[in-house]
Amino acid sequence: MERRATFAAGCFWGVEAAFRQVEGVTATAVGYSGGGTERPTYHEVCTGRTGHAEVVEVAFDPGRVSYDELLDVFWAAHDPTQRDRQGPDVGTQYRSAVFVHDDEQKAAALASKERLERSGRLRRPVVTEITPATTFWRAEDYHQRYLEKRGLATCRI
């Protein structure tokens, strides 16, 4: 039975490309979650006034890839110690967040975050939010598989 996971880790283009390479991921879509505006557009989200984050919604087969493995990809795909930014992208829409769909995902995300914090790999505290999933608003078509369409989605995590 297919399941869903939702992650925010900065600009959604690279994050989507990373998840698309994971065996057991059956589909991805980029979009917006965590805000108050219905049907937000990219330009509205970029203002920072909608409260949304750029996210990747991942459909996966739990018989082929675990949620914990998806969390590992999430942590590796960005710097979870940066608040409201990733690299040159700055604003709340670029925050680090795990949008959990149920209590099982919440427990796994909290445990994974704690393991990362205790690992000593990071010099600063993890600022990633772990919050209940809200409505996923699919981004405009030109954002879907953006890097793949341009031949740039070949990096491996």
Is the pLDDT score of 42 beyond 90? Answer: yes
Domain extent listing, the chain: 3-149
Is the pLDDT score of 135 beyond 50? Answer: yes
pLDDT band at 157 (very low <50, low <70, confident <90, very high): very low
Task: State the average pLDDT over residues 18-33.
Answer: 95
Q: Which of 8-12, 81-85, 129-133, 151-155 has the lowest mean pLDDT?
A: 151-155
Nearest to 90 by CA among 98, 82, 101: 82
Q: What is the mean pLDDT of the chain?
A: 91
CA distances from 102 to 3, 38, 111 (A): 11, 22, 14
Answer with the residue of higher pLDDT: 50 or 14.
50
- What is the C-alpha separation between 147 and 15, in angstroms, rounded? 10
What is the predicted pLDDT for the residue at 14? 86
SS3 label, residue 90:
strand
Q: Would you please indicate which residues are annotated as catalytic (active-site) residues?
A: 11
Prediction pTM value: 0.91
Query: CA-based diameter of the chain, in Å?
Result: 40
Say if residues 101 and 4 touch (Cβ distance below 8 Å). yes
**3-149 CATH, one of 3.90.550.10, 3.30.1060.10, 3.40.50.920, 1.10.390.10:** 3.30.1060.10
pLDDT tens per residue, range 74-108: 999 999 999 999 988 999 999 999 999 999 999 99
